[in-house]
Amino acid sequence: MIYEIKKGQHYSRHWPKLHFGTRKKVVQFKFMDGCWFPLEAPDDYAINKLFGWSYGHHHRDSIRIGWTPNKEPGKIDLFFYAYNDDLQYDEIFATVEIWQECEIEIWLFSGRAFFSLQRSGLPVIMDSVSFRIPQFKWGYYLFAYVGGKLPARTNTKIELNFHTESMS
How do the domains of the chain map onto residue ranges?
Answer: 2-166
As a whole number, mean pLDDT of residues 107-121 equals: 90
Residue 19: C-alpha distances to residues 52, 66, 142, 164 (Å):
11, 20, 11, 10
pTM to 2 decimal places = 0.91
With bands split at pLDDT 50, 70 and 90, how would you rate the model's confidence at 117? very high
Mean pLDDT of 129-136: 82
- Check whether 16 has a pLDDT greater than 90: no
Does residue 162 contact residue 25 with C-beta atoms inside 8 Å?
yes
Domain 2-166 maps to which CATH number in 1.10.645.10, 2.60.120.200, 2.40.30.10, 3.40.1190.20? Answer: 2.60.120.200
Lowest mean pLDDT among 22-36, 73-87, 119-133: 119-133
Cite the beta strand spans of the chain per DSSP E: 2-5, 18-20, 22-31, 48-54, 62-69, 75-84, 87-97, 102-109, 112-119, 125-130, 138-142, 156-166
* pLDDT of 167: 43
For residue 164, what pLDDT is reported? 57
Average pLDDT of the chain is 90
pLDDT exceeds cutoff 50 at 168: no
